[in-house]
Amino acid sequence: MKLLVTGGAGFIGSHYVRTVLTGAWGGAEPEQLVVLDKFTYAGNRANLAPVADDPRLRIVEGDILDRALVDSLVADADAVVHFAAESHVDRSILGARDFVMTNVVGTQTLLDSALEHGVEKFVHVSTDEVHGSIATGSWDEDQPLLPNSPYSASKASSDLLARAYHRTHGVPVCITRCSNNYGPYQFPEKIIPLFVTNLIDGQDVPLYGEGSNVRDWLHVDDHCRGIHLVLQNGRVGEIYNIGGGTELTNKELTGLLLTSTGTDWDRVERVADRLGHDLRYSVDISKITAELGYRPEVPFEQGLADTVAWYRENRAWWEPLKAHAALGR
């Protein structure tokens, strides 16, 4: 299979690329894999360094809004795995335009190209945040979309476009919706890498409000393995939730990160809560488990310990990123 992976230099996309090329999950490996990435602040060539010499890999710098470039790549692909997205909620609150352009119009550009060139499978990678917030229980794939941030609204819009292109035009789309990812190579603006790198550098960490917001944590390897199962065997036109099965309040997570870095609560700064902050996310993974045999395999305690250790051992990866962000570039 010839794969086109958009956003393949970002946190989740690069893990998928590195892992699928090394055959870590078993099964057939791609004969060709093209990464299309704009290399914005969150896309990093260093994320692909472990597989950079693989002759099957081609890295293309470009924008999913560039229809001519997209056409040239989709025309030579059997399948598309679409990770490319603006994904940080706080950035979307400050300015939503880039989120609408990349997440909505960029997805529409890819879908138009997939329709024209007849790809065999189009996996659209989305998020549980499209549902809004849930007080109790868990969302299945049929729950309504009630997004509460500009980021999640843009992802919900892209989900609906993907579904519409399948229903209207027969594009062989599958949609995946994941819970909160963590693991190595995650850009240090998200809570786990931000807190870990701040704490091991002797800096304080910001905790929104009372820290009562609940998230389900999913190791990036489990997420990418679930995506690959959907690519290989998911039914077209279907949505699949991918969760990790570990729900924690942000305060509980903060406590674990303090312990893992040998620090205590005097390093925590309480800050004003995020605008429109969703209280709780939780996805029901019964469907992907029953149909495709997915289940999370990375125990959270071990996954978190390994992640903290990775950031301790890879300062050369994250220090330049944080310095660059601090300069506002």
Tokens of 130: 């499209």
Residues 294/241, Cβ–Cβ less than 8 Å? no
Condensed to tens digits (0 to 9), the pLDDT of residues 73-87 reads 999 999 999 999 997
Residues 217/248, Cβ–Cβ less than 8 Å? yes
Is the pLDDT reported for residue 326 higher than 80?
A: no
**In sequence order, which residues have a C-beta less than 8 Å from that of residue 170 and are 6 or more positions away?**
none
Active site residues: 128-129, 151
Is the pLDDT reported for residue 227 higher than 80?
A: yes
Residue 236 pLDDT level (bands cut at 50, 70, 90): very high
Condensed to tens digits (0 to 9), the pLDDT of residues 1-31 reads 999 999 999 999 999 999 999 998 887 789 9
**Chain mean pLDDT for the chain:** 95
Per DSSP (E only), the strands in 51-120 are 57-61, 79-82
Q: What's this model's pTM, rounded to 2 decimal places?
A: 0.95
Domains along the sequence of the chain with CATH: 2-182+218-242 (3.40.50.720)
